[in-house]
Amino acid sequence: MIEKGRISYLELALIMYATVVATAILYIPYVTSQHAKRDLWLSPIWGSLSGFLIVMIIVKLSKLYPGKTLIEYGELILGRTLGKIISFIYLFFLLHDTAIAFREYGEFIESAFLHKTPIIFVTGSIALSCAIAVHGGIETIGRCATIFLPIVLALYILIYVFLIPDLNVKNIFPIMQDGIMPSIKGSIAPHAWLSQFSLMSFLIPFLTNQQKVMKWGMFSVIASVLTMVFINLGNLLLFGGIISNLYFPVFEAARFISVGSFFEHIESMVIAFWVLGGFVQLSSFFYMLTLGTSQWLTLPSYKQFVLPIGFLIIIFSVWSIPSFEEMIQGMGTTMPFYFLTVQLLIPVLLLGVAVIRRKRSNSFLP
């Protein structure tokens, strides 16, 4: 096996939580509010359906092909040629998805803090840090998730705790004034983010125990959805209708904090702690892409590919997204359908063919 490291259930849940939530808490409120308006807090609940469905599919496939990732059992299910083609499509998507995640990170850091720094230097610096973690293996990323994410989560809860005097419950009303459809339309982006739970297939083979993977996968989905609901609701109660005009409402919320005359202007602290969560997310994407590419090429180790793939990610992050405005627009239009097409349909295809082949092989047994 290429990877010798092992992770626990908790580390798997935290890695997947970071993979989904780290950038979702920044971009989801703005993108969702374009369609859902005041009902944006409901949209992640509808989006959770994709997360739950994909976790069930991936766990079922992992039980049919224990110790294998999606790249490996794709060939076993579809045959060598077709399996290689499907796996390549998924890996190319993963490269694009990873590049988008790095670009999202870079755009936020540049917009909020490093205004005059070229974005390639921002993404390049985090890519180098992530490369060190990826070279260390899945255990390194799992330990980072265990240490960093509780700190990041506590920080975001405290932001809205400090803002309780400024929250206006009236901003949530009237609920579903225009019916349920606006919140369903707003769930397009949460559907896309939660479809990334297909990446669990790269982590399940390295669990120390495979018995409770479904439970912890579902727990991670629930935690991700609750975080999105909490962030969307907090922003709505604070900003009301103007939330649809704010690209980074969580960052803007931090600017509102003022406790006495000594605890204020903590947005720099928010960025510093958010980078920890972003580091886990980007390292996870980076690792899965490197591991999957090595498995597709049937190489004995993935470590020699870390730097070349890191360089490719940075190039794609600049090349594939012309501007910040186009990236934001894509999040609410074409990107969700692109994500769901690859991350939902490919696992569904693999599971369907695998089940049919199992039934046919059993029917021929005496």
Tens digit of each residue's pLDDT (9 = 90 or more) over 142-190: 999 999 888 888 888 888 888 888 888 888 888 888 888 999 988 888 9
pLDDT at 356: 87
Q: Give yes or no for residue 32 having a pLDDT over 70.
A: yes
Q: How many CB atoms lie within 10 A of CB 149?
A: 21
Q: Give yes or no for residue 365 having a pLDDT over 50.
A: no
Q: How many CB atoms lie within 10 A of CB 91?
A: 18
Q: Give yes or no for residue 5 having a pLDDT over 50.
A: yes
Q: Which of 72-76, 245-249, 267-271, 333-337 has the lowest mean pLDDT?
A: 267-271
- Give the span between the Cα atoms of 26 and 106, in whole angstroms: 12
> Over the Cα atoms of the chain, what is R_g?
21
Q: What is the mean pLDDT of residues 233-243?
A: 86
pLDDT at 335: 85
DSSP-derived secondary structure letter, 244: G
Tens digit of each residue's pLDDT (9 = 90 or more) over 187-236: 888 998 999 999 999 999 999 888 889 999 999 999 999 999 999 998 89
Confidence of residue 301 (pLDDT cuts 50, 70, 90): confident
Q: Give yes or no for residue 248 having a pLDDT over 90.
A: no
pLDDT at 363: 58
Tens digit of each residue's pLDDT (9 = 90 or more) over 89-144: 999 999 999 998 898 888 888 877 777 888 888 888 889 999 999 999 899 999 99
DSSP string for 142-163: HHHHHHHHHHHHHHHHHHHHHT
Place of tokens 């369903």: 184
* The domain over range 9-349 is classified in CATH as 1.20.1740.10: yes
Tens digit of each residue's pLDDT (9 = 90 or more) over 277-288: 889 999 999 999
Q: Give yes or no for residue 2 having a pLDDT over 80.
A: no
Q: Are 231 and 41 in contact (CB under 8 A)?
A: no
What is Dmax (Cα atoms) for the chain?
81
Confidence of residue 44 (pLDDT cuts 50, 70, 90): very high
Q: Are 331 and 189 in contact (CB under 8 A)?
A: yes
3-state SS class at 167: coil
pLDDT at 10: 92
161-193: b (≥16 Cβ within 10 Å) or e: ebbeeebeeebeeeeeeeeeebbbbbbbbbbbb
Q: Which of 197-201, 266-270, 290-294 has the lowest mean pLDDT?
A: 266-270
Tens digit of each residue's pLDDT (9 = 90 or more) over 306-356: 999 999 999 988 888 877 788 888 887 888 888 888 999 999 999 998 888
Q: Distance of CA 354 to CAs 41, 73, 102, 195, Å? A: 37, 10, 34, 21
pLDDT at 259: 65
Q: Across the strands, what pairs with 7?
A: 207
56-66: b (≥16 Cβ within 10 Å) or e: bbbbbbbebbe
Confidence of residue 1 (pLDDT cuts 50, 70, 90): low
Torsional sign, CA 9, 23, 103, 336: positive
- Give the span between the Cα atoms of 152 and 17, in whole angstroms: 12
Question: Model pTM?
Answer: 0.91
